[in-house]
């Protein structure tokens, strides 16, 4: 990876340069929380922010998206063009970039590349920024606290400067034209290592580190714990809505009032919704909250790992805050920690 250093004072110039050519999306303050939104001035963004309440997936997989239009009388597709604006996401945390990398594995799988997702992904540049973990963060447990790819630029805050990892030509050219990137000095490297160690040391030690969680998910698949956890689930789908890696969707048709034409669209869906696994004729493969919550956790902490060698959780902690029933991966980790303690005292 190519590294250069820029002064912190140059950052607004970089943002302005992107704004010449792209819509710039960045973290902004809304009430007491932070969200990603399009900005009009570099000073609108807040780069020292805790995790945003909603993730970045809406820019690649909108909550609702038209896939095609159709003529219902002839039962054939009609003309439809999706045009995606060129966009820069400025100030994404490592967990969120890692989440997008996981979405890439699903939507650009090489067999069935999703043209809508790919168009958005190709039209988007990502500028990452280093962060300080909040209490609900556990990205380090899943090896998601560093973004190794999936961005165009990554800014490491090293005091009054940024160490910039440069990944794409497109972003390199803009960086070059807007700022005065210079070679990193020994002092820059020392400061970078200090910053990294500071971040690594500031994670909440109360969240248990259970590295064999995937195996335990299989071993305790029938445990009463899932009933305890699942019976609390309100099926509100808030977890899936805020999750940066939840990608499930439903496909639906909507007709115009005259019934002559319509659109086929997709909307976010969640495996915790009661009818999610129902088939024609009414049989439901996961009728109980216990089964649905367990499936969601299992897919995240075991299933996706089995297929893609990484978990479908980046430890961003959004669900920890969003779930009204206190159901989240941290509860699963705490359960396994308790199991371990029980076993130790029994032995």
> Within positions 148 to 177, which residues make up the interface with another protein, using CB under 8 A?
170
Question: What mask of x and - would describe binding to another protein in positions 310 to 339, judged by CB under 8 A?
Answer: ------------------------------
Q: Which of 18, 10, 50 is nearest to 33 (CA)?
A: 50
E strand or H helix that includes residue 171: helix 169-178
Residue 306 binding another protein, by CB under 8 A: yes
**Number of residues in contact with another protein under rule CB under 8 A:** 72
CB of 274 to another protein, least distance (A): 13
Distance of CA 195 to the CA centre of its chain: 23
> C-beta of 261: minimal distance to another protein in Å?
9
- Mind giving me the DSSP string for 247-283? --EEEEEEE-TTSSEEEEEEEE--TTSTTTTB-TTS-
CB 136 within 8 A of CB 320: yes
**Strand, helix or coil for residue 302:** helix
Rule CB under 8 A: choose which of 7, 53, 58, 69 binds another protein.
69
Work out whether the CA dihedral 287, 291, 292, 295 comes out positive or negative: negative
**Which residues 28-47 are close enough to bind another protein by CB under 8 A?**
none
CB 125, min distance to another protein, A? 9
CB of 230 to another protein, least distance (A): 14
Per-residue binding string, another protein, 124-153, x by CB under 8 A, is ------------------------------
Judged by phi (left if over 0) then psi (alpha if -120 to 50, else beta), residue 315 lies in left
Q: Which is nearer to another protein, 182 or 221 (CB)?
A: 221
The verdict on 226 binding another protein (CB under 8 A) reads: no
Told to check if 190 binds another protein by CB under 8 A, we report no
Select the residue interacting with another protein from 71, 180, 202, 338 (CB under 8 A).
71
* Site for another protein contains 82 (CB under 8 A): yes
**Least distance to another protein, CB of residue 68, Å:** 4
What are 249's strand-pairing partners?
268
Q: How far is the CB of 73 from another protein (least distance, A)?
A: 9
Structural contact between residues 45 and 27, judged by C-beta atoms closer than 8 angstroms:
yes
Q: What are phi and psi of 107, to 5 degrees?
A: -90, -15
């Amino acid at each position: 990876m190519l590294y250069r250093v820029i002064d912190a004072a140059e950052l607004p110039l970089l943002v302005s340069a992107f704004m010449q050519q792209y819509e710039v999306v960045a973290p902004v303050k809304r009430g007491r929380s932070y969200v990603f939104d399009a900005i009009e001035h570099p000073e609108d963004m807040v780069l020292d922010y805790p995790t945003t309440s909603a993730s970045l997936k809406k820019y690649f997989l909108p909550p609702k998206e038209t896939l095609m239009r159709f003529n219902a009388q002839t039962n054939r597709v009609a003309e439809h063009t999706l045009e995606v604006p060129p966009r820069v996401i400025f100030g994404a945390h490592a967990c969120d970039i890692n989440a997008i990398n996981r979405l890439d594995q699903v939507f650009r799988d090489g067999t069935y590349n999703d043209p809508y997702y790919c168009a958005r992904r190709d039209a988007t540049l990502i500028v990452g920024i280093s962060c300080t973990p909040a209490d609900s963060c556990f990205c380090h447990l899943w090896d998601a606290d560093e973004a190794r790819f999936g961005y165009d630029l990554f800014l490491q805050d090293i005091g009054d400067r940024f160490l910039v990892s440069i990944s794409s030509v497109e972003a390199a050219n803009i960086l070059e034209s807007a700022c005065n990137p210079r070679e990193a000095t020994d002092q820059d490297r020392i400061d970078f290592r200090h910053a990294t160690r500071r971040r690594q040391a500031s994670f909440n030690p109360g969240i248990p580190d259970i590295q064999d969680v995937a195996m335990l998910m299989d071993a305790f698949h029938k445990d009463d714990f899932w009933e305890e956890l699942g019976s609390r689930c309100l099926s509100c789908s808030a977890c899936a809505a805020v999750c940066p890696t939840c990608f499930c969707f439903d496909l639906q048709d909507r007709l115009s009032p005259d019934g002559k034409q319509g659109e086929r669209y997709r909307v976010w869906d969640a495996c915790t919704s009661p009818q999610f696994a129902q088939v024609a004729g009414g049989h439901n493969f996961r009728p109980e909250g216990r089964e649905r919550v367990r499936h969601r956790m299992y897919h995240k902490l075991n299933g996706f790992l089995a297929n893609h060698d990484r978990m479908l959780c980046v430890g961003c902690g959004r669900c920890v805050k969003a779930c009204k029933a206190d159901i989240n991966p941290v509860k699963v980790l705490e359960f396994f920690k308790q199991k371990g303690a029980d076993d130790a005292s029994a032995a």
